[in-house]
Structure formats: C-alpha cells, structure tokens
Amino acid sequence: MAYTNGLSAYRETRVKTASQGQLIIMLYDEAIKTLDRGLELLGANGSKKDPGKIEDINKCILKAQEIITELTVSLDFEQGGDIAKNLFALYTWFNKELLEANINRNTQQITVIRNMINELRDAWSEIVSRNPAETSYKEVNGVNIAG
C-alpha cells in the first residue's frame, strides 16, 4: 500500500513540475503505451485472440482517444499557426481512425496510428531537448495521465 501511494505521489509531482513540452511527451508516451496494450490484447503479436478481452481492448483504445483529444484541445492556434492547424487535422484523423479500428478490431490501423504518434513524440522530444526553457522544471497545472 505504501509503495502504491509513493508511486502515485511521484507521478503526480512529475506531472505538476513538467514543462509544457514535457507534458506533451508524457501524453504521447501514455497514448503509445495504451495502444501497445490494446494491440497486445488484440493478438497483434501473434498470440491467440480472446473475445473475453473486448472490454479491455475497448478501454485501451478509448484511453488513447481521450489523450489525443486532450492534445487537440491544448493546441494554441494563435501562436501555433499552421503547425497547430496541421496537428488539429492529424489528431482529428487519429481519433476517426481509432474509432473505426476499435469497431473493426483492425490491428493494422491501430499500428499505423501508434507509429505516427511515436514519430510526433520523437519530434517533440527533440524540440524539448534543444530548448533550455523546456528542460527546466516549473510549476504548471498538471494533467492526470495515470488513468
């Protein structure tokens, strides 16, 4: 019990002290993790599909969609310009594809989205590592990505 409370406190502190860029990376990481879990449950890695896991698969995909929605609403169109508009279109497409993939249990669609999110995550990681203001910790309102 103490371990769980300590881990929870660590996660909360990590989120609350992260820069905006680091928060975005955390959201991408969580989306990737949940899509990987969904793919695992779907049997994308060659394991046998289990119809009893439909609810868990659905939860994984829905959580990824919620994260993408959070990324969407955090876009700043005034400062972000065309990049924000392009990310908005991409995030909207991600959610549409994940909805369809969830209905059809299409591992290929999920894998494509997962890989694209990973590419975005890598790009953000590069940006954050090159921007000294992003690497310093500061107090911001956190987002609960722990679920």
Structural domains of the chain, with CATH = 19-135 (1.20.120.340)
Q: Is the pTM of this model over 0.85?
A: no
Quote the mean pLDDT of the chain: 83
Which ranges constitute the DSSP H helices of the chain?
A: 2-16, 20-42, 54-73, 77-104, 107-130, 132-135
| Residue of 143, 141, 137 lying closest to 19 (CA atoms) | 137
Mean pLDDT value across residues 11-34: 81
38-88 per-position pLDDT tens digit: 999 998 655 556 677 889 999 999 999 999 999 999 999 999 999 999 999
Does 23 score more than 80 pLDDT? yes
* Closest CA relative to residue 36, chosen from 99, 118, 94: 118
Nearest to 64 by CA among 99, 103, 22: 99
